[in-house]
Amino acid sequence: MPVLLRRLLLSLCLVVVAPLVMASDAAFNRAFGDDWLAQYWQRNPDYAVSVGYYQVAGLLPAPTAANRRRYIGWLDVQLRQIAGFDLATLSPAARSDLAVLKTQLESERWTLTTLKSWQWNPSQYNVAEPIALLLSTGYASEPQRLRTVQRRLQQVPAYYAAAKAAISHPTREHTRLAIEQNTGALEVLGAALETQVAGSQLTAGERSAFLRSLRLARAAVSDYIDWLKALDARLGRDGNARSFRLGEALYEQKFAYDIQSGSTGRQLYERALAEKERLHARMSVLADQLWPRYFPGTTPPADRVQKIAQLIARLSEQHTTREGFVDEVKRQIPLLEAFVRDHDLLTLDASRPLQVRETPAYQRGFSIASVNAPGPYDPTAKTFYNVSPLDDYTPEQAASFLSEYNRWQLQVLNIHEAVPGHYVQLVYANKSPSRIKTLFGNGAMIEGWAVYSEKMMLEAGWGGHEAEMEFIHSKWLLRVTTNTILDYGIHVLNWGEQQVLDLIRNDAFQSETEARGKWRRASLSQVQLTSYFAGYSAIYDYRERLKQQLGDRFDLKRFHEHFLGYGSAPVAVIESLMKPEDAIRNP
């Protein structure tokens, strides 16, 4: 066919197809736009509050069997509606929105009907976080927020009564976590809240009613804690607690929903084993370079693992103090921000400052550091970098922890959690034109970006290209890699605690405190620990392919900003939407 005729036919096809795509996109946006999201938030008010949607903040649905049945029925209706769209008639943006939404709703249905964590995980029942957010976020006047909190408080007794009825054959690990975190919830409902109410502009009658609701809510939380303690004791006597291990079938299903990489958990596990070997080889080379500086006049051990471990131990002697840990985190944040600006790696939004704070009690017991970021409905709200102080650590535990988060590794942690890691990625996500991709974010993309940002910062010169920084960062990457190995090992291969501790201490060179903390975390979560390596590998592989394709035209800042502009979509979805020219330097 002549070229001119082929072009003419193609243009005629586009004239016919374009209106069809526009009509299909419009139908999808009507079906799953703001009105649909309003229905979703009615059914998920806790999640709504976390993303800044406060219209349903006074709701606290009890986790009853009837409510679960109704929600499963609603999910079925939504999934049938999604199935009615012809993907071929949707634009790439709408098609990817549909895919993200379909996976989200299918995952929720699977969790309710197959995983059934509502039966065996008592820690998922906790009223503290939404109340704390409502009290600390200035989205409305204080009296209005207190009235909303009171409406929630009135529903707390029914909520915990339904939680106790739902729990059946729980794990001891999640039972004990529930006791710990709900004890923290009592602090949110404690004396400070009473003082706030007493000094508020509520009327005398409103203050009295609030305090009555607060006392009843506290009593319900305390009753739940006592009930859990009795349950834990009974599980200990009877020995019939549910195992926290998922097993291969459930694990692979959860992996497919959570990671969305196209690979299986087994395939990622095997890649992680190979990456562990590569990192050990590189660290051995770096150890040979650094050895004369830290062990002058001595010969390094012939055993590679022993050599690496000895150098890590020596470098880990350089760290901050127990009392200065949180302050050192605060000191580093502006330095990281300045580096990102000076090296033109990303545009930072100065109107969205990061606030470092000590982790609230109701959030402790799971990780040492985390970010609480506002959602797209309230993007101007504060973003908190939660850092757990070492107050409750014994001197031995604190020393072990500080050695782990030594002079170099603490910098990596702050890059990961804050700049340009989670904090920056979430600021960009809130500005994405696709609310669906932002609201229903992919954990592997989110965690993967944070790990990728560490390597990217070191490539750009953070740490002055010191061999020490690369060496300790390689140790950090070993942790990311072994997270995948141990998570699969625990939940699928039935690894015991000692096997996991040996892997973490001997192959990943982590401290005793970190090793035992990771065992605890892996026994309380499933698949999430694999998201770091899965997402990081996907992002880095994609960037390197673009660099090879574009050569000198590749622009790192444009790549970063376009990549982050798609919200928190799975990496594969972002790849399908980005074009090579999105990563080309402006003329």
pLDDT tens, residue order, the chain (587 aa): 444 434 433 343 434 446 767 889 999 999 999 999 999 999 999 999 999 999 999 999 999 999 999 999 999 999 999 999 999 999 999 999 999 999 999 999 999 999 999 999 999 999 999 999 999 888 999 999 999 999 999 999 999 999 999 999 999 999 999 999 999 999 999 999 999 999 999 999 999 999 999 999 999 999 999 999 999 999 999 989 999 999 999 999 999 999 998 899 999 999 999 999 999 999 999 999 999 999 999 999 999 999 999 999 999 999 999 999 999 999 999 999 999 999 999 999 998 899 999 988 777 765 788 888 877 888 778 889 999 999 888 999 899 889 989 999 999 999 999 999 999 999 999 888 899 999 999 999 999 999 999 999 999 999 999 999 999 999 999 999 999 999 999 999 999 999 999 999 999 998 888 899 899 999 999 999 999 999 999 999 999 999 999 999 999 999 999 999 999 999 999 999 999 999 998 75
How far apart are the C-alpha atoms of 110 and 583, rounded to whole Å? 38
> What pLDDT is recorded for position 366?
59
Q: DSSP string of 70-89?
A: HHHHHHHHHHHHHHTS-GGG
**Could you tell me if 139 and 112 are in contact, meaning their C-beta atoms sit under 8 angstroms apart?**
no
Q: Taking CA 566 as the corner, what is the angle to CA 381 and CA 35, rounded to the nearest 5 degrees? A: 65
Q: DSSP string of 226-261?
A: HHHHHHHHHHHHH--PPPS---HHHHHHHHHHHH-S
Q: Taking CA 184 as the corner, what is the angle to CA 182 and CA 189, rounded to the nearest 5 degrees? A: 90
Q: What are phi and psi of 354, to 5 degrees?
A: -95, 135
Please name every residue paired with 584 in a beta bridge, in sequence order, or none if there are none. 554
How far apart are the C-alpha atoms of 443 and 451, rounded to whole Å? 12
**What pTM was computed for the model?**
0.88
> What pLDDT is recorded for position 378?
82
Number of C-beta neighbours around residue 221 at 10 A: 23
Positive or negative: CA dihedral 412, 515, 531, 116: negative
Residue 79 is encoded by which pair of tokens?
């999934």
How far apart are the C-alpha atoms of 121 and 117, rounded to whole Å? 5
> What pLDDT is recorded for position 5?
38
Please report, for the chain, how many H helices and E strands are present, in that order. 26, 3
**Could you tell me if 535 and 446 are in contact, meaning their C-beta atoms sit under 8 angstroms apart?**
yes
What are the C-alpha distances in Å from 544 to residues 185, 282, 455, 541, 583?
Answer: 46, 20, 13, 5, 12
Comparing CA positions, the residue from 305, 325, 312, 332 lying closest to residue 399 is 325
How far apart are the C-alpha atoms of 126 and 109, rounded to whole Å? 21
354-358 vs 383-387, strand pairing mode? parallel
Identify each DSSP E strand in 326-440 by its residue range. 354-358, 369-372, 383-387
With left for phi above 0 and alpha for psi between -120 and 50, is residue 60 left, alpha or beta?
beta
> What pLDDT is recorded for position 392?
84
How far apart are the C-alpha atoms of 41 and 47, rounded to whole Å? 7
Boundaries of every domain in the chain: 3-31+62-115, 122-238, 281-320+400-583
> What pLDDT is recorded for position 224?
98
**Burial (CB count <10 Å: 0-12, 13-18, 19+), residue 578:** middle
**Could you tell me if 416 and 445 are in contact, meaning their C-beta atoms sit under 8 angstroms apart?**
no
> What pLDDT is recorded for position 10?
37
